[in-house]
Chain A
């Protein structure tokens, strides 16, 4: 491995000349081309593709005329709705409304819902079963927090959606993943769809679902299932491929049929990895259920949403904390259950009665019956007593007021300085660039990093963004995303560098960013709004907070993976610590850091769409408006434009990292799932 930086040639290579020429050409176009080549700045009418109308028409056709012969498309969607709705009603009755008889305001409650005491006790029992006393305490505390702060009912509505979405999403992903594992054709067909689905912003899913399934919790659950299924599919396929060949040989040697092979051999053997997928489905479902409050999911998300719309910081923060508590509890529970599911241990000859064999089930049933009966006599057991409720809403409002009274000028000064000196000029610059020039530079980057295929891909995607009339909004997206990513790197890379050197510190930081990454994206909006109200600056802060984790993680891991022998060699050659860091460590960790930046870009793009709620003007806003107007064409076109930006960024950065790695002679490491 050559490390002599001084030995690098500084002569101009042909590639450099090409770049120089290209940049000059774009510069010239930008400065003087406006009148000569107006089409390079504004896509002429005859080039435009009315994709929006096409998609809208296709949607109308689906809704109005599409039929499968025996039944129409709408009948199908109604059937799916009903299939999801029935179990959801049941779970919701159990957790929130109680079992009712009759309709609307005449309804009589036949059976009350599970009381808060019962739910907390059951959650605690699951915690005890899955991970022992510590976990039981943690999850009890989380749910207790939700009860005490008056978010119980909302949290139960959210939980009910999750309890329906997770099994369906898991099962769907599992089946698709198995199909992709078994039939290469299915794999080849699914792969691009999954890639696209993971880059299309969440709001864009919501628009067609809103049109097809209407406004309400059912549509929200369907959106959640669709959103959470791709990772499960991917993980299932990978997990099955990862089962050692000897195990499948065994299955064949004992004469398994195809079905036995899948269900008795492969799936159980892959259980450990599959459970990672289930955890992801749970966390993604939570994120989506919160976002899906926009199409009527209700629950905690709806609370945050209305609070944001009213700028009622107190309520929003409270609901936000409840979401965090729910997220932490669900994450830890599912991880512990996953560990348990794959750590088989022989039981000490379980003898005796039902209690000895199923202590947890028996205890849970006992708690339900007992609290149910006691609840009739003691209402405080049934629903959390109002008198004991704590509300921090006013407190937070006071905090905001206090901050505004005391620090308004300082905060405003920082915000305005950044806005006026950096953000707005950058935005003007980007939106002023000719689309043809930018697309050309992208093609050139693609070509020099990954050959003609990549050049073609970036070119076509950039062109599509332009001709569907999304260019200007796309540039605003790039501006906000770009500035947030730069800021995230400025914060994240130093943190990563600093923590990489100390194992103890790193365990702490890792725990923090792990937790940050499990939080639903909605939550990040609240503190930013609290301090800076709405606007691009607020959006940027939320994006940075949401997207900074990967760059920290990959920087630290990349630095830690630099072989010790190289460091020693450097030291032997008399490098100072600073030189060691800049000349050896960072340089060798660069490919890894780039992958981190890549993930940060992806997260930033997904968060960007959510920040539409605080009044940005980019593609996210476009999707959001489409959502409020139920305009499928508009939403999907804008959503796809975001996906295209994500794909371009992803492919270019990955290709760049791959080149660096090849140059340093490092082996290709499979990107983690």
Chain B
């Protein structure tokens, strides 16, 4: 589950900047690519994205989290060149995205990128079926084929039977399911989701997150997922990048961020998170003792499970749990005292 640093990067950003305002490019060049905030303010330039470098690995769900206005949407739009970055380098599947021709860019977007929008962006004049088939229609796929594929996608997101409905006849959650089905219709290599569930009610949001994780377990896409909700981030993420005022302040696994926030800004998010729901057994695991403990083990627990799931297994007995790896073989032990200590931290 956790990211393996040696994995191939689908999308790499190196020192990407996006400045809004007149003469922004010149200011960036004149300052050698590192303009001081005062100078930007003086020229009425907004630095929406500042010097961002990150890698999105193949098959991982990479979450970008930050408060509203921190530049998340701008960053994700730079990744697909919906917004032209002011400076930096973006490599997508080994190709320098910023130097491809407009035709090639259209090709890449048509076949290798999918995007889900915060407010769904469904076309009001098209039925659910036609909306989902729209990316294929744009590519010139014939009607029979594209509708077949669209039906599959609609089935996948659980909207079977609603093919003939129009967007305004659907609830918010259903509309976003259409948005998700549409973005998956082209089998994209990278899947962008810009605050996909923020416009939904809390209950629906939760349901959609579960649905999303179910899909991801099957599809294993490379995902860039934007959210301003830290709880959502730690639920869905393999890795999280936290943004503040356009800059990334920390990148790491949810556990890493919860256990070791880089600064007060990040710590503020993690404060109300119960760590036992984030931290995995593997993080607190101790090596297997040479000899099995006298009282034996209270039970077995998977290394990838959360501590909160492990806690009830102790059953009051002071015996440790045996930790098993993905193949079911024992790889370590989990002491009750460590679990208690973590849970005391909140």
Binding site for B on A (CB under 8 A): 244, 246-247, 249-250, 252-257, 260, 264-265, 268-269, 271, 342-347, 349
Chain A residues lying within 8 Å of B138, measured Cβ to Cβ, are: 254-256, 260, 264
- List the 9 closest pairs (A to B, CB-CB), nearest first: A255-B110, A344-B166, A254-B135, A246-B121, A255-B109, A346-B164, A250-B121, A268-B125, A255-B106
Binary CB contact string for chain B from 103 to 122 against chain A (1 if under 8 A, 0 otherwise): 00011011101110111110
Q: Among the listed A253, A343, A349, which residue makes an inter-chain contact with B113, where contact means beta carbons less than 8 Å apart? A: A253
Could you say which interface size class chain B belongs to?
Answer: 20 to 34
Instruction: Tell me the smallest distance from the CB of A266 to a CB of chain B, in Å.
Output: 10
State the CA gap A253–B139 with chains docked (Å).
Answer: 12
Chain B residues lying within 8 Å of A252, measured Cβ to Cβ, are: 82, 109
Knowing A255-B107, A255-B139, A268-B123, the reply to whether A250 touches B117 (Cβ < 8 A) is yes
> Do residues B115 and A250 form an inter-chain contact, with CB atoms below 8 A?
yes
> Do residues B169 and A346 form an inter-chain contact, with CB atoms below 8 A?
yes
Chain A residues lying within 8 Å of B126, measured Cβ to Cβ, are: 268
Knowing A249-B82, A346-B165, A347-B164, the reply to whether A257 touches B106 (Cβ < 8 A) is yes
Knowing A249-B77, A268-B123, the reply to whether A345 touches B169 (Cβ < 8 A) is yes
Q: Considering residues A249, A250, A347, A349, which has the most beta carbons from chain B within 10 angstroms of its beta carbon?
A: A250
Q: Across the A-B interface, how many residue pairs have beta carbons closer than 8 Å?
A: 75
30 residue pairs A–B, Cβ–Cβ below 8 Å: A244-B119, A246-B118, A246-B119, A246-B120, A249-B115, A250-B115, A252-B82, A253-B82, A253-B109, A254-B110, A254-B134, A254-B138, A255-B107, A255-B110, A256-B138, A265-B123, A268-B124, A268-B125, A269-B123, A271-B124, A342-B124, A343-B168, A344-B124, A344-B125, A344-B166, A345-B169, A346-B165, A346-B169, A347-B164, A349-B164
State the CA gap A264–B135 with chains docked (Å).
Answer: 11
Instruction: Tell me the smallest distance from the CB of B119 to a CB of chain A, in Å.
Output: 6
Chain A residues lying within 8 Å of B110, measured Cβ to Cβ, are: 254-255
Q: Which chain B residue has the least Cβ–Cβ distance from A247?
A: B121
> Do residues B117 and A249 form an inter-chain contact, with CB atoms below 8 A?
yes
Instruction: Tell me the smallest distance from the CB of A268 to a CB of chain B, in Å.
Output: 4
Instruction: Tell me the smallest distance from the CB of A336 to a CB of chain B, in Å.
Output: 18
Q: Considering residues B118, B134, B137, B169, which has the most beta carbons from chain A within 10 angstroms of its beta carbon?
A: B134
Instruction: Tell me the smallest distance from the CB of B240 to a CB of chain A, in Å.
Output: 24
Q: Does B276 contact A (CB under 8 A)?
A: no
Chain B residues lying within 8 Å of A268, measured Cβ to Cβ, are: 123-126
Q: Does B127 contact A (CB under 8 A)?
A: yes
Chain A residues lying within 8 Å of B186, measured Cβ to Cβ, are: 254
Known A255-B106, A264-B137; 8 more pairs at CB < 8 Å: A253-B115, A254-B109, A255-B109, A255-B135, A344-B125, A344-B127, A345-B169, A346-B166
Q: Which chain A residue has the least Cβ–Cβ distance from B80?
A: A253
State the CA gap A254–B118 with chains docked (Å).
Answer: 16
State the CA gap A295–B115 with chains docked (Å).
Answer: 57
Chain B residues lying within 8 Å of A256, measured Cβ to Cβ, are: 106, 138
Chain B residues lying within 8 Å of A265, measured Cβ to Cβ, are: 123
Chain A residues lying within 8 Å of B123, measured Cβ to Cβ, are: 247, 250, 265, 268-269
Chain B residues lying within 8 Å of A264, measured Cβ to Cβ, are: 134, 137-138
Instruction: Tell me the smallest distance from the CB of B117 to a CB of chain A, in Å.
Output: 5
State the CA gap A269–B167 with chains docked (Å).
Answer: 12
> Do residues B121 and A249 form an inter-chain contact, with CB atoms below 8 A?
yes
Chain A residues lying within 8 Å of B125, measured Cβ to Cβ, are: 268-269, 271, 344
Q: Considering residues B138, B139, B186, which has the most beta carbons from chain A within 10 angstroms of its beta carbon?
A: B138
Q: Which chain B residue has the least Cβ–Cβ distance from A257?
A: B106
Chain A residues lying within 8 Å of B77, measured Cβ to Cβ, are: 249
State the CA gap A342–B192 with chains docked (Å).
Answer: 30
Q: Which chain A residue has the least Cβ–Cβ distance from B163?
A: A346
State the CA gap A120–B106 with chains docked (Å).
Answer: 51
- Quick one: which of B84-117 are within 8 Å of A by CB? 106-107, 109-111, 113-115, 117
State the CA gap A308–B166 with chains docked (Å).
Answer: 53
Q: Considering residues B120, B121, B137, B168, which has the most beta carbons from chain A within 10 angstroms of its beta carbon?
A: B121
State the CA gap A247–B120 with chains docked (Å).
Answer: 9
Instruction: Tell me the smallest distance from the CB of A436 to a CB of chain B, in Å.
Output: 43
State the CA gap A249–B193 with chains docked (Å).
Answer: 13
State the CA gap A343–B124 with chains docked (Å).
Answer: 9
Chain B residues lying within 8 Å of A249, measured Cβ to Cβ, are: 77, 82, 115, 117, 121
Q: Which chain B residue has the least Cβ–Cβ distance from A255?
A: B110
Binary CB contact string for chain B from 66 to 82 against chain A (1 if under 8 A, 0 otherwise): 00000000000100101
Chain B residues lying within 8 Å of A257, measured Cβ to Cβ, are: 106
Q: Considering residues A247, A255, A256, A268, which has the most beta carbons from chain B within 10 angstroms of its beta carbon?
A: A255
Chain B residues lying within 8 Å of A250, measured Cβ to Cβ, are: 115, 117, 121, 123
State the CA gap A246–B192 with chains docked (Å).
Answer: 13
Instruction: Tell me the smallest distance from the CB of A588 to a CB of chain B, in Å.
Output: 33
Q: Considering residues B80, B118, B124, which has the most beta carbons from chain A within 10 angstroms of its beta carbon?
A: B124
Chain B residues lying within 8 Å of A254, measured Cβ to Cβ, are: 109-110, 134-135, 138, 186
Q: Considering residues A244, A264, A343, A347, which has the most beta carbons from chain B within 10 angstroms of its beta carbon?
A: A264
Q: Which chain A residue has the least Cβ–Cβ distance from B135?
A: A254
Q: Which chain A residue has the least Cβ–Cβ distance from B115?
A: A253
Chain A residues lying within 8 Å of B169, measured Cβ to Cβ, are: 345-346
Instruction: Tell me the smallest distance from the CB of A202 to a CB of chain B, in Å.
Output: 35
Chain B residues lying within 8 Å of A346, measured Cβ to Cβ, are: 127, 164-166, 169
Instruction: Tell me the smallest distance from the CB of A90 to a CB of chain B, in Å.
Output: 31
State the CA gap A596–B113 with chains docked (Å).
Answer: 51
Q: Which chain B residue has the least Cβ–Cβ distance from A244?
A: B119
State the CA gap A217–B110 with chains docked (Å).
Answer: 50
- Quick one: which of B132-171 are within 8 Å of A by CB? 134-135, 137-139, 164-169
Q: Which chain A residue has the least Cβ–Cβ distance from B137?
A: A264
Instruction: Tell me the smallest distance from the CB of B277 to a CB of chain A, in Å.
Output: 33
Chain A residues lying within 8 Å of B164, measured Cβ to Cβ, are: 346-347, 349
State the CA gap A342–B120 with chains docked (Å).
Answer: 18
State the CA gap A257–B105 with chains docked (Å).
Answer: 11
Chain B residues lying within 8 Å of A269, measured Cβ to Cβ, are: 123-125
Q: Which chain B residue has the least Cβ–Cβ distance from A261?
A: B138
State the CA gap A344–B113 with chains docked (Å).
Answer: 29
Q: Which chain A residue has the least Cβ–Cβ distance from B188?
A: A253
Q: Considering residues A254, A271, A342, which has the most beta carbons from chain B within 10 angstroms of its beta carbon?
A: A254
Instruction: Tell me the smallest distance from the CB of B249 to a CB of chain A, in Å.
Output: 26
Q: Which chain A residue has the least Cβ–Cβ distance from B192?
A: A253
Instruction: Tell me the smallest distance from the CB of A351 to a CB of chain B, in Å.
Output: 13
Chain B residues lying within 8 Å of A244, measured Cβ to Cβ, are: 119, 121
Instruction: Tell me the smallest distance from the CB of A26 to a CB of chain B, in Å.
Output: 45
